[in-house]
Amino acid sequence: MKSNNLQIFVALDCSSELDAQQITNKLDSEFCGIKVGKELFTAAGPKIIDYIHNKGFKVFLDLKYHDIPNTVKKACKNASDLGVYMLNVHAMGGSEMMLSAKEGVDQSQNKPVLIGVTILTSHNQKSLKNIGYDKPINHYIKNLALNVADCGLDGIVCSANDLNFLKPILPKNFHLVTPGIRLNNTKKHDQQRVSSPEDAKTLGSTMLVIGRSITEDPHPLEVLKKIQLLLK
């Protein structure tokens, strides 16, 4: 995967297996990996992972597990057995749950990168206050990120804009996975805390997750190649 040490995962936010296959066929594993989230995995199941693997792509399985520790442990073991490159859990699940997730991954012959989601990029200060979180959003992001590191996970999912205060306090080899990446000429959609690819790289992202800016274009591979050029 060519990425100038910065990996790109294209988010297949599709409702059907056929749509996912068609977009996959337009991409090139030399330039990106592929993220499979809840929408697609619910529609197509594990067989879509096999299809993407057979095309040569790394897979980020983005199911954000958040449940009782034993359930998450078993789910992470099963997800790891699918051969995915990376999977995630919600850091809000707490230390015991994240430690159990790590146990599940360690029980698999395949040991993917395991990362914790801090605060979704669809949230902002107002939306957090609506569900009872009154402190500044950065307070929660910082605490969750440090807890992910303390539990021995491999990285976090966060907004690129959070890296200004997170990167100095996290382990050096930590994966810093940033969704909410938008090109300057594309809409924010339901994302609140967004960033351009260039800004995300400057801030220290190690992996970019880019969805609709690429997949909604008639020529997704050309868009992907343009992004790679911007990141050189």
Q: What are the DSSP E strand ranges found in the chain?
A: 7-12, 33-37, 59-65, 86-90, 113-117, 155-157, 175-178, 207-210
Residue 60's SS3 state is: strand
Angle at 150 between CA 113 and CA 81, to 5 degrees: 25
Residue from 2, 55, 58, 64 carrying the catalytic annotation: 64
Residue 229's SS3 state is: helix
The answer to whether 95 and 151 are in contact (CB under 8 A) is: yes
Residue 4 to residues 54, 133, 168, 171, 223, Cα–Cα distance (Å):
24, 38, 22, 21, 16
Query: Could you confirm whether 167 is annotated as catalytic?
Result: no
The answer to whether 9 and 31 are in contact (CB under 8 A) is: no
Q: List alpha helices for 45-191, DSSP H.
A: 47-54, 69-81, 95-106, 125-130, 137-150, 163-166
Strand partners, 36: 12, 61
Separation of first and last alpha carbons in the chain: 14
Q: Give the active site residues.
A: 64
